[in-house]
């Protein structure tokens, strides 16, 4: 009779050696050969596993969940976002989902405010002008931009990241509003105003997008929504690229419908260097680095592995998405 058979775990992304050792000690652990598993590699390695560990580049759709079979009890992603996971099928099959929103929230808030300042105060345009010798044109109105103090900030999506952003913005003397499917007690605790999306777009100096990507939010920022914004408004997206119609954003930026945009996400990723948005001086475009600090990346890996360990023991995940 076979006894003490270890449950199986497959990681579709590379983990550091110390985390691999932890997992090898408690389960039959297998990891992809490269940085990320190919589609064929993923399908071939998930049958019979109890837990799949992944990142955003790994699409955990119904095909993958079917391949894993009834043994699969949890999908643990090393990211805050979860749009790469088929949540409907996971819920139907009682497959738990671990993600890292709370782990990265403070880091993302710090980054987002930095992006707001860089965009509003025209850092990209000013740096380019220095390189071109334009500093010689300095005067009272040279590179004037927009500050956070006294500005109205509209946050789209008051999840854990949006809450941390709002908390920190209060120290800047900003007036903060938020919108989402419903008013949230966390917003009341922060003493910030809940408004409709229409009101937020018409009245905000900075529109900050932190919402999850789903069917309701896909392309929610389009020609119609950009037309509602003030010509002095600044658009910030740290959520997902598909929340935005990028052609409409380009038109809004080049026709002065809005003042500027700061983006840490795009569609596709990576965005090619010859994409029209890249060349705009009023578009600060960064390569999805919002959580890229030494401390936070270590915590992300550690927590995602802790989620895996909890799933193996059939315990509540330390950072679990409520389906």
Residues serving a catalytic function are: 288
Q: How far apart are CA 243 and CA 297, in angstroms?
A: 24
3-state secondary structure of 22: helix
- What span, in angstroms and rounded, lies between the C-alpha atoms of 237 and 240? 7
Task: List C-alpha distances in Å: 59 to 52, 76, 155, 249.
Answer: 11, 12, 28, 27
Distance separating the N- and C-terminal Cα atoms of the chain: 38
Closest by CA to 286, choosing from 236, 250, 321, 243, is 236
Give the C-alpha distances (Å, rounded to integers) separating 315 from 42, 48, 260, 311. Answer: 25, 20, 46, 6
What residues form DSSP beta bridges with 263?
237, 285
In three-state form (DSSP H/G/I as H, E/B as E, the rest C), the secondary structure along 133-184 is CHHHHCCCCCCCCCCCCCCEEEEECCCHHHHHHHHHHHHHCCEEEEECCCCC
Q: Which residues pair with 60 in a beta bridge?
A: 85
Residue 254's alpha-carbon distances to 230, 232, 257, 271, in angstroms, are 14, 13, 8, 19
Nearest C-alpha neighbor of 221 from the set 194, 195, 258: 258
Surface-to-core class of residue 45, CB atoms within 10 Å of its CB (0-12 exposed, 13-18 middle, 19+ buried): buried
């Amino acid at each position: 009779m076979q006894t003490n058979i270890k449950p199986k775990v497959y990681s579709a992304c590379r983990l550091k050696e110390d985390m691999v050792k932890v997992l090898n000690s408690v389960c039959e652990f297998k990891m992809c050969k490269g940085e990320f598993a190919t589609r064929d590699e993923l399908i071939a390695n998930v049958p019979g596993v109890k837990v799949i560990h992944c990142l955003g580049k790994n699409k955990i759709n119904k095909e993958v969940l079917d391949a894993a079979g009834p043994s699969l009890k949890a999908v643990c992603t090393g990211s805050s976002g979860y749009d790469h996971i088929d949540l409907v099928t996971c819920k139907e099959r009682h497959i738990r989902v671990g993600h890292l929103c709370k782990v990265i929230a403070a880091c993302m808030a710090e980054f987002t405010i930095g992006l707001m300042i860089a965009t509003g105060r025209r850092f990209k345009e000013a740096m380019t002008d220095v390189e071109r010798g334009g500093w010689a044109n300095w005067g009272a109105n040279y590179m004037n931009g927009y500050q956070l103090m006294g500005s109205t900030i509209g946050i789209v999506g008051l999840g854990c990241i949006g809450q941390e952003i709002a908390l920190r913005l209060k120290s800047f003397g900003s007036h903060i509003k938020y919108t989402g499917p419903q008013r949230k007690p966390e917003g009341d605790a922060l003493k910030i105003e809940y408004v409709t999306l229409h009101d937020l777009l018409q009245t905000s100096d900075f529109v900050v997008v932190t919402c999850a990507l789903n069917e309701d939010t896909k392309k929610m920022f389009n020609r119609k929504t950009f037309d509602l914004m003030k010509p002095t408004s600044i658009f910030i997206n740290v959520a997902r690229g598909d929340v935005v119609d990028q052609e409409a954003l380009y038109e809004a930026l080049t026709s002065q419908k809005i003042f500027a945009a700061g983006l840490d996400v795009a569609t596709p990723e990576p965005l090619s260097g010859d994409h029209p948005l890249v060349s705009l001086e009023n578009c600060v475009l960064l390569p999805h680095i919002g959580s890229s600090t030494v401390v936070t990346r270590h915590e992300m890996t550690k927590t995602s592995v802790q989620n895996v360990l909890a799933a193996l023991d059939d315990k509540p995940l330390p950072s679990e998405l409520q389906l």
